């Protein structure tokens, strides 16, 4: 960013902070403090807020980028789309870039973000160096791993705005070359996929080539894939001397990325620009755009390219939530209403096959996304060696696999959330846990044990003593 851009970014940020504080003062004393955002990447419904919300409209930008230090100062509501657009010209990117363009940096930190660098870079909050947080009482405090607010720094991830809202974050960046070469490796047995994934996480290589990005897709028990990405400077035009095709692909139009992964056997190669790689899942919201007909070639041909993106599908989902469109269509066809099953769970990597087999046998949803992750090592100074991030139970030195599935199943009469409850139970049996961006059905004591219990209560008492913010159980389970 030029000096003029830096000055403009800092000035706009200061105005955004002033607007935020003024909107906090406008909320009636004693009323619950919430955001006034019109959009969200959460899949759980919440009650309408009768009071004015926090105006975060001025906190949507990158404040500055330091290419020498490989850091960026970013306003809390800046989307990853805008963040990546500001860093890529320097050959830099956030260490973890969640899959959808409209996810905000603040949202990925106070919630949980993940992507194909998570097996080596952990989760987005592990790249944060310091964070300014607006508390429920309207104070902005700066938390770092070693200052007097270190407890809030480590307790902020997975708090979902119940301990405060991020205003500014200073984050680490990493160097990225212009292209990513992909290998889609086909597996016929899930156990073999698990074994290979374990080896790649440990060694950082596969078949003699470095692996910089790692995720996977399961279509059936005998058709699954790992996609291995390697950063490269090669221009991606023509063929290399070894005859391997390196033409750059484009999955922002008629071609669909997840369909390109499939092949009969062995390894299939592909290549994307770094920008297209980071957003490869956004064009079709992974594979969920098929629910809107966007993958039908006859429809896709006339679908505006600018509307092939997750933010537009979110609007369609919003219409469905408001008017129950899908359930009405089902009723006209004599079909039951749908139970939404939109979840990301984590299990230890050694339990991946067991969970997938259970899921494929019991839940009629496919495909399924896989993304291995480990907490970064070494841990930040000041971190608890046993549980560095107390509100989310990931153990250091242990590999997990995030398993994502996003669809719906027929409701079970008399048992709201039947399938989601089965998933929660099975995940717990396999020593796993789930993200809280969607619907949850835990009893209070179980939730307390899984998501920080006493640690959370101490943080709540210190940073929201007047209860201006919802508590985590109310927000994640009761959906207030």
Other beta carbons less than 10 A from residue 128's beta carbon: 23
Q: Evaluate whether residue 335 is within a structural domain.
A: no
The model's confidence at residue 354, banded by pLDDT at 50, 70 and 90, is: very high
Query: What integer is the mean pLDDT of 273-302?
Result: 96
Weakest-pLDDT range from 44-58, 74-88, 113-127, 209-223: 44-58
User: Are 102 and 93 contacting, i.e. CB atoms less than 8 angstroms apart?
Assistant: no
- Are 169 and 183 members of one domain? no
Reported confidence tier of residue 36, pLDDT bands at 50, 70, 90: confident
Confidence class for position 39, pLDDT limits 50, 70, 90: low
- Mind listing the pLDDT tens digit for each residue in 380-391? 888 888 889 999
Is residue 224 domain-shared with residue 125, that is, in the same domain?
no
Same domain for 8 and 155, yes or no, is: yes
> Which secondary structure element, helix H or strand E, spans residue 218, and what is its range?
strand 213-220
Choose among 201, 261, 196, 194: nearest CA to 221.
194
- Residue 336 per-residue DSSP state: P
With a cut of 50, say whether residue 244 has pLDDT above it. yes
Q: Please indicate whether residue 471 or residue 236 has the higher confidence score (pLDDT).
A: 471
Q: Is 183 helix (H, G, I), strand (E, B) or coil?
A: strand
Strand, coil or helix: what is 200? helix
Output the pLDDT for position 240. Answer: 44
Query: Which of 280, 312, 336 represents a domain boundary (last residue)?
Result: 280
- Tell me which of 141, 156, 175 is where a domain ends: 175
Looking at the structure, tell me whether residues 90 and 50 fall in a common domain: yes
Q: Kindly tell me the sign of the dihedral angle through the C-alpha atoms of 258, 260, 262, 266.
A: negative
| Distance in angstroms (rounded) separating the CA atoms of residues 53 and 35 | 5
Kindly state whether residues 100 and 233 are assigned to the same domain. no
Q: What percent of the chain has pLDDT over 90?
A: 81
d(CA 134, CA 438): 24
Strands 209-210 and 205-206: antiparallel
CA-to-CA distance for 198 and 188, rounded, in angstroms? 17
Count of structural domains, the chain: 2
Residue 234, domain member (yes or no): yes
CB 20 within 8 A of CB 167: yes
Whether residue 432 is contained in a domain is answered as no
Question: What pLDDT shows up at residue 239?
Answer: 45
pLDDT of residue 241: 44
Q: Cα–Cα distance between 389 and 405 in angstroms, integer?
A: 25
CB 20 within 8 A of CB 58: yes
Distance CA 171, CA 414 (A): 47
> For 28, which DSSP code?
P
The CA distance from 343 to 334, in Å, is: 27
The reply to whether 114 and 45 lie within a common domain is yes
pLDDT of residue 46: 58
List, for residues 86-96, the tens digit of each pLDDT value: 999 999 999 99
pLDDT bin (cut points 50, 70, 90) of residue 43 is: low
CA–CA separation, 157 and 113 (whole Å): 10
Counting residues of the chain whose pLDDT is more than 70, the rounded percentage is 91
Q: Over the stretch 408-447, which tens digit does the pLDDT of each residue have?
A: 999 999 999 999 999 999 999 999 999 999 889 999 999 9
Q: Are residues 170 and 198 in the same domain?
A: no
Answer yes or no: do 115 and 226 share one domain: no
Of 151, 175, 199, the last residue of a domain is 175
The answer to whether residue 385 sits within a structural domain is no
Q: Is residue 57 part of a domain?
A: yes
Contact yes or no for 143/149 (Cβ under 8 A): yes
Task: Indicate whether 20 and 115 sit together in one domain.
Answer: yes
**C-alpha closest to that of 375 among 83, 192, 123:** 123
Residues 294, 94, 135: CA angle, nearest 5 degrees: 95
Answer positive or negative: Cα dihedral of 249, 252, 253, 259.
positive
The answer to whether the predicted template modeling score (pTM) of the entire model surpasses 0.75 is yes
Tell me, yes or no, whether 85 and 59 share the same domain: yes
Q: Do both 206 and 106 map to the same domain?
A: no
Considering the domain architecture, whether residues 170 and 201 belong to the same structural domain is answered as: no
> Is the Cα torsion angle 112, 113, 116, 118 positive or negative in sign?
negative
Structural domain includes residue 441: no
User: Do the domain assignments include residue 228?
Assistant: yes
What is the token pair recorded at 264? 């009969």
Structural domain containing residue 198: 179-280
- Kindly state whether residue 135 falls inside one of the protein's structural domains: yes
CA distance 210 to 293: 38
Q: Does residue 85 register a pLDDT over 80?
A: yes
pLDDT in tens, 122-166: 999 999 999 999 999 999 999 999 999 999 999 999 999 999 999
CATH at 60: 3.30.465.10
The mean per-residue pLDDT over the stretch 304-316 comes to 93
């Amino acid at each position: 960013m030029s000096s003029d851009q830096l000055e403009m970014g800092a000035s706009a940020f200061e105005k955004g902070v002033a607007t935020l504080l003024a909107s906090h003062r406008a909320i009636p004393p004693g009323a619950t403090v919430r955001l006034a955002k019109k959009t969200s990447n959460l899949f759980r419904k919440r009650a309408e807020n009768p009071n004015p919300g926090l105006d975060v409209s001025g906190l949507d930008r990158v404040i500055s980028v330091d290419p020498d230090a490989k850091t960026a100062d970013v306003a809390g509501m800046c989307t990853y789309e805008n963040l990546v657009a500001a860093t890529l010209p320097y050959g830099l990117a956030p260490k973890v870039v969640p899959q959808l363009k409209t996810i905000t940096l603040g949202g990925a930190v106070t919630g949980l973000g993940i992507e194909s660098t998570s097996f080596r870079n952990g989760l987005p909050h592990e790249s944060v160096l310091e964070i300014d947080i607006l508390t429920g009482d309207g104070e902005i405090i700066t938390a770092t791993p070693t200052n007097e607010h270190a407890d809030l720094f480590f307790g902020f991830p997975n708090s979902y705005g119940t301990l405060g809202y991020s205003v500014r974050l200073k984050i680490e960046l990493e160097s990225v070359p212009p292209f990513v070469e992909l290998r889609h490796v086909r597996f016929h047995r899930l156990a073999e996929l698990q074994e290979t994934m374990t080896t790649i996480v440990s060694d950082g290589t596969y078949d003699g080539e470095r692996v910089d990005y790692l995720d996977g897709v399961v279509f059936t028990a005998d058709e699954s894939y790992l996609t291995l990405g390697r950063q490269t400077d090669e221009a991606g035009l023509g063929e290399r001397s070894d005859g391997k095709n390196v033409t750059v692909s484009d999955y922002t139009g008629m071609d669909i990325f997840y369909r390109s992964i499939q092949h009969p056997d062995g390894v299939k190669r592909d290549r994307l620009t770094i920008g297209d790689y980071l957003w490869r899942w956004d064009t079709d919201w992974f594979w969920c755009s098929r629910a809107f007909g966007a993958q039908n070639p006859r429809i896709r041909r006339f679908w505006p390219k600018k509307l092939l993106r997750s933010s537009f599908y979110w609007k369609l989902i919003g219409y469905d939530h408001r008017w129950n469109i899908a359930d009405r269509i089902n009723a006209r066809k004599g079909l039951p209403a749908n139970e939404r099953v939109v979840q990301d769970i984590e299990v230890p990597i050694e339990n991946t096959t067991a969970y997938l087999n259970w899921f494929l046998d019991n839940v009629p949803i496919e495909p399924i996304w896989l993304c291995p992750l480990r907490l970064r090592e070494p841990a930040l100074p000041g971190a608890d060696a046993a549980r560095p991030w107390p509100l989310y139970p990931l153990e250091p030195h242990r590999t997990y696999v995030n398993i994502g599935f996003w669809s719906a199943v027929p409701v079970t009469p008399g048992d709201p959330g039947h399938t989601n409850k089965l998933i929660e139970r099975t995940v717990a049996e396999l020593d796993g846990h789930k993200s809280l961006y969607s619907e949850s059905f835990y009893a209070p004591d179980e939730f307390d044990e899984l998501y920080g219990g006493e640690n959370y209560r101490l943080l709540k008492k210190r940073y929201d003593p007047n209860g201006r913010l919802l508590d985590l159980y109310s927000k994640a389970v009761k959906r207030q």
